C-alpha cells in the first residue's frame, strides 16, 4: 500500500479573480485532493475562502503574506514549524513566488515556474514582475529540490536563462476542466451573452489585457477584416492589467469602437458559453509558457487561431491555425479562412475537441504525485525528468 503523502500547498491570490497561474494552482489543488494517497494542507496567504477549499482541505494561514508575492519571504519563518506541526513530506509552491529561505528541515521543496517572460519579453511587463522573475525567482528555483514547468518550451527557457540543471526541471502540462464542452443549449448560451452585453456574430479573445498578449495587432487585424464582415464584432474578455494606453489608441486610430466590446473579467462558469458562441477564438500572444485559453476554446468546439511562437504550437498541435503574431496580414488572412471555409472550420472543430481531451487535471495531478513520491523515496531518483505524456 502506498504511503500517505502529506503535502503543504502554498496558495496566493485566491481571494481575488484568478487568471492563468491562479487557475493552475486552484485546479491542480482540487485534482490532488481527489487522490487517495495524498493529504493536502493548504498553506494560505488569503483570509477569504472564495472556493470552499477550507471545507475540503486542512488549512493553515501564513499571516502577513497577502498583498505582494515578495512578502511570502515573511512566511518562510513559519514553514519549518508548520512542516513539523503537520508532518509534511513536501511543500509545493504552484505560483512560483516562494523563496524557500533557510534550511528545509528534511521537507522536500517543489516550485512550479510557468514561463520566463522577464527574459523573453520584458518590455511587455511591469517593473515589479520583471524584478521578481529576474532576482527573486532564480533564488527560489535553486533552493527547490525540483522545479515543475508546464511545457517543453518553458523547460528549455528555464535551462537557458536560469541555468538550472536538466535533472531538476520536470514538464507536467496543464488540464482542461470537463465543464469546457460545446454548449448547444441556446437559452443558457444567450443568457450568458446578454449578461456580458455580447451580440453575435463575434470573434473572441480571452486573457489578460497587457502588451504581451498582443492585443494591438489583434485590433489592427480586425480593422482590416471589418469592411468585408460588417455584422461581425470583436469581444475581448479579461481584466485590464498594465500598459493599456496603446490599446485605447489603436481603437481610436482604427475607428472600431462600435464593433469592439470589452467584457471585463469573465467568471469561470460563464466561459463555456462565451467560447461556444464565438465564430473563432483568436489568441495572438507574443509569449506563453502554456496557453490554457486556446485549449478551453477547442474543448468548447470553437475554431482557434493562435501564435506560432513559444509554447502555443506545442499545446495546440495540428488542431489550430498558427500564425506569426507580429504579422497583421497573416492574422487577418487566418480569420478570413476560418470565417469563410466551412470544411476548414469543421476540421478545426473536430481536431480541437480531440486535442483538448488529451489534457486533464487528473493526469497533471498523477504526474505531480509521481514526482512527489520520487522525491520522498530518493531525491536523486527525481533526476529522471517526468515528461508530459500528452504533449
- The per-residue pLDDT for 380 is 62
User: In the CATH scheme, what is the code of domain 5-175+360-383?
Assistant: 3.40.50.2000
Residue pair 88/41 in contact by the 8 Å Cβ criterion:
yes
Q: What number is the average pLDDT over the span 338-359?
A: 98
- The per-residue pLDDT for 385 is 52
Classify domain 186-356 at the CATH class level: alpha beta
Give me the residue spans of the domains in the chain: 5-175+360-383, 186-356
Distances (CA, A) of 125 to 143, 242, 283, 286: 26, 7, 18, 12
Q: Give CA–CA dist 86/41, Å, rounded.
A: 8
> Who contacts 347 (Cβ-Cβ below 8 Å, separation ≥6)?
none
Residue pair 32/6 in contact by the 8 Å Cβ criterion:
no
Model pLDDT for residues 93-136, shown as the tens digit of each residue: 998 877 676 666 789 999 999 988 777 777 766 666 667 677 77
> Who contacts 101 (Cβ-Cβ below 8 Å, separation ≥6)?
73, 76, 143
pLDDT band of residue 387 (cuts 50, 70, 90) is low
CA atoms within 13 Å, Cβ hemisphere of 54:
12
Model pLDDT for residues 166-182, shown as the tens digit of each residue: 999 999 999 999 999 99
Q: Give CA–CA dist 388/151, Å, rounded.
A: 8
**5-175+360-383 and 186-356 in the same fold:** yes
- In degrees, to the nearest 5, what angle opens at C-alpha 1 toward C-alphas 374 and 90? 35
> Which of 42-56, 151-165, 209-223, 352-366 holds the top average pLDDT?
352-366
DSSP 96: S
**Count of residues making up the chain:** 391
Q: Give CA–CA dist 378/372, Å, rounded.
A: 10
pLDDT band of residue 156 (cuts 50, 70, 90) is very high
- 125-136 as b/e, with b when 16 or more CB fall inside 10 Å? beeebbebbeeb
> DSSP letter string over 247-294?
HHHHHHHHT-GGGEEEEES--GGGHHHHHHT-SEEEE--S--SS-HHH
> Who contacts 351 (Cβ-Cβ below 8 Å, separation ≥6)?
298, 317, 318, 319
- The per-residue pLDDT for 106 is 83
- The per-residue pLDDT for 1 is 43
- The per-residue pLDDT for 382 is 57
Per the prediction, the chain carries an average pLDDT of 88
Residue pair 113/149 in contact by the 8 Å Cβ criterion:
yes
- The per-residue pLDDT for 72 is 58
Choose between 323 and 15: higher pLDDT: 323
Q: Give CA–CA dist 117/18, Å, rounded.
A: 19
Model pLDDT for residues 81-92, shown as the tens digit of each residue: 888 899 999 999
Model pLDDT for residues 273-311, shown as the tens digit of each residue: 999 999 999 999 999 999 999 999 999 999 999 999 999
pTM assigned to the model: 0.91
What percent of the chain is modeled with pLDDT above 70?
88
pLDDT band of residue 232 (cuts 50, 70, 90) is very high
3-class DSSP assignment, residue 345: helix
Q: What number is the average pLDDT over the span 358-369?
A: 98
Amino acid at each position: 500500500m502506498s504511503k500517505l503523502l502529506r503535502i503543504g500547498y502554498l496558495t496566493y491570490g485566491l481571494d481575488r479573480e484568478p487568471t492563468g497561474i491562479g487557475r493552475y494552482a486552484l485546479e491542480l489543488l482540487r485534482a490532488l485532493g481527489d487522490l487517495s494517497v495524498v493529504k493536502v494542507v493548504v498553506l494560505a496567504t488569503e483570509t477569504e475562502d472564495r472556493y470552499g477549499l477550507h471545507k475540503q482541505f486542512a488549512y493553515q494561514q501564513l499571516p502577513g503574506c497577502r498583498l505582494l508575492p515578495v512578502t511570502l519571504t515573511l512566511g518562510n519563518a513559519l514553514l519549518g514549524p508548520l512542516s513539523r506541526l503537520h508532518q509534511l513530506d513536501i511543500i509545493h509552491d504552484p505560483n512560483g513566488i516562494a523563496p524557500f529561505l533557510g534550511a528545509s528541515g528534511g521537507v522536500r521543496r517543489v516550485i512550479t515556474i510557468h514561463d520566463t517572460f522577464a527574459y523573453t519579453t520584458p518590455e511587455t511587463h511591469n517593473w515589479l514582475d520583471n524584478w521578481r522573475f529576474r532576482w527573486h525567482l532564480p533564488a527560489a528555483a535553486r533552493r527547490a529540490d525540483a522545479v515543475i514547468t508546464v511545457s517543453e518550451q518553458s523547460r528549455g527557457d528555464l535551462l537557458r536563462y536560469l541555468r538550472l540543471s536538466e535533472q531538476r526541471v520536470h514538464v507536467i502540462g496543464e488540464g482542461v476542466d470537463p465543464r469546457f464542452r460545446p454548449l448547444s443549449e441556446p437559452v443558457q448560451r444567450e443568457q450568458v451573452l446578454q449578461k456580458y452585453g455580447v451580440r453575435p456574430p463575434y470573434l473572441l479573445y480571452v486573457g489578460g489585457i497587457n502588451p504581451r498578449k498582443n492585443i494591438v495587432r489583434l485590433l489592427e487585424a480586425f480593422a482590416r477584416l471589418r469592411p468585408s464582415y460588417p455584422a461581425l464584432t470583436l469581444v475581448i474578455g479579461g481584466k485590464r492589467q498594465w500598459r493599456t494606453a496603446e490599446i485605447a489608441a489603436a481603437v481610436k486610430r482604427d475607428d472600431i469602437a462600435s464593433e469592439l466590446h470589452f467584457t471585463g473579467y469573465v467568471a469561470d462558469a460563464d466561459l463555456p458559453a462565451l467560447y461556444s458562441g464565438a465564430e473563432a477564438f483568436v489568441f495572438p500572444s507574443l509569449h506563453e509558457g502554456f496557453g490554457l485559453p486556446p485549449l478551453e476554446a477547442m474543448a468548447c468546439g470553437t475554431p482557434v487561431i493562435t501564435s506560432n511562437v513559444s509554447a502555443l504550437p506545442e499545446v495546440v498541435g495540428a488542431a489550430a491555425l498558427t500564425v506569426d503574431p507580429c504579422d497583421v496580414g497573416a492574422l487577418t488572412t487566418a480569420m478570413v479562412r476560418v470565417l469563410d471555409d466551412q470544411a476548414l472550420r469543421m476540421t478545426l472543430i473536430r481536431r480541437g475537441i480531440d486535442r483538448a481531451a488529451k489534457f486533464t487535471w487528473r493526469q497533471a495531478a498523477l504526474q505531480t504525485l509521481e514526482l512527489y513520491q520520487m522525491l520522498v523515496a530518493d531525491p536523486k531518483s527525481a533526476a529522471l525528468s517526468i515528461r508530459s505524456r500528452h504533449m
